[in-house]
Amino acid sequence: LVCFGSSVLIFCEFLIYYVVIFQCRWPEVKGGAHLSEKETSALVLKALILADTHLLGEIKGHWLDKLRREWQMERSFQTALWLLQPDIVFILGDVFDEGKWSSPQAWADDVRRFRKMFKYPASTELVVVVGNHDIGFHYEMTAYKVDRFEKAFNFTSGKLITRKGINFVVVNSIAMEGDSCALCRSSEAKLAALSRRLNCSQQKPDPSNQRCRDAEKLPASEPILLQHYPLYRKSDAECSGEDSAPPEEKNIPFKEKYDVLSQEASQKLIWWFHPRLILSGHTHSACEVLHAGKIPEISVPSFSWRNRNNPSFIMGSITPTDFSLRKCFLPYESRVFAVYCAAGALLAILILARFQLLTPPFYFAQHLISKHKA
């Protein structure tokens, strides 16, 4: 009985993550099928993208809920790193659930727990984007909250990350309010300056172009935007898939600057960067939309079982000119509970049989059958 119970526990809390994530495979980019493993490693950037981990804090977080959710996310993340060995990991905001309220001591404790759960080897890079639960919505955002997030995660709005000739632009979408607040002005100024550098890098050298004469030369690859808020869309009505929003929520209109960026801020980002891909989080549900008829945006679902029964992450194989994405689902929590319930029922039967407590009902049934035959 002890061995059976221990085996079920080990499977549900440890081995199941290997069984499920082992089935995930990196997608192939065009021409990637003809490359050797060494050439693929040199040319293709393997990226894991996840969002909305919402580590619980001291105010609303129950200790049992924290213990359960953090164990699930830690095992999923560490298993994915071990099996898939990505080059880089992006977390698209809302790392914490109570960052907007946290005292300095609570913040330090949350950061310590995060670093333990999401530790990574030297061969992998981790990039964390800011979300509204990390620093608050626009009306709650302060320089102090932004500064402590930047120090903890080396985050800067308007930061350019270039790996293997691929440009990633990190955006503080909470600062895209458009009301000329000090943090908003600073963030937009950095994005505008970066836009100029990227656009100049994509143009052919022209001595008469004074605007680009002193601009730093960057890879000519069209950038990928990384942010927490999605670009403007009316609702999730057009979203599909098993991890999209529930039917009763799909037609609820989104509120600008709260659920999604404003139309003005969205147009700014598209006009500034002409991105080839936009990756966002915030809604906790999956969605894929096209902006301007050609720019895809992927809303990444929550990585926490507290928000979904079927969390997932995105696997991306990216080159300077192309990309391919594939979703990897984590174990369904309902299935884990079903395994526990079935194991518990079987254990109960075995215990009753061991102490011969099931014998009388069997004899009673046998007696009824014999009487009926007579």
Q: Where are the beta strands (DSSP E) in the chain?
A: 45-50, 88-92, 125-129, 159-163, 166-170, 224-226, 277-280, 287-291, 295-299, 312-318, 323-329
- Between residues 258 and 208, which one has the greater pLDDT? 258
Tens digit of pLDDT for each residue in 84-119? 999 999 999 999 999 999 999 999 999 999 999 999
Confidence of residue 356 (pLDDT cuts 50, 70, 90): confident
Full-model pTM: 0.90
Res 59: pLDDT:
86
Res 361: pLDDT:
57
Q: What are phi and psi of 105, to 5 degrees?
A: -70, -45
Sign of CA dihedral 119, 122, 124, 127: positive
Greatest alpha-carbon pair distance for the chain in Å reads 110
Kindly provide the b/e burial profile for residues 223-256, where b requires at least 16 CB atoms within 10 angstroms of the residue's own CB: bbbbbbbbbbbebbeebeeebbbeeeebeeeeee
Confidence of residue 208 (pLDDT cuts 50, 70, 90): low
199's CB contacts (< 8 A; 6+ apart) are 212
- Between residues 35 and 364, which one has the greater pLDDT? 35
Q: How many other CB atoms are there within 10 angstroms of residue 6's CB atom?
A: 10
Q: What is the DSSP letter of 102?
A: -
Minimum mean pLDDT among 144-153, 230-239, 346-355: which range?
A: 346-355
Answer whether 90's CB lies under 8 Å from 50's CB. Answer: yes
- Between residues 372 and 56, which one has the greater pLDDT? 56
Dihedral over alpha carbons 263, 264, 267, 272 (to 10 degrees): -150
Res 165: pLDDT:
93
Domain 1-28+38-352, second-level architecture: 4-Layer Sandwich (3.60)
Confidence of residue 366 (pLDDT cuts 50, 70, 90): low
Confidence of residue 210 (pLDDT cuts 50, 70, 90): low
Tens digit of pLDDT for each residue in 29-81? 986 656 666 666 678 999 999 999 999 988 888 888 888 999 999 999 999 99
Confidence check: pLDDT of 249 > 70: yes
Res 111: pLDDT:
96
Distance, in Å, from the CA atom of 46 to the CA atom of 286, rounded to the nearest integer, reads 21
Average pLDDT estimate for 7-11: 94
Domain extents in the chain: 1-28+38-352
Confidence check: pLDDT of 370 > 80: no
List the 45-50 sheet strands across, edge first.
125-129, 88-92, 45-50, 312-318, 323-329
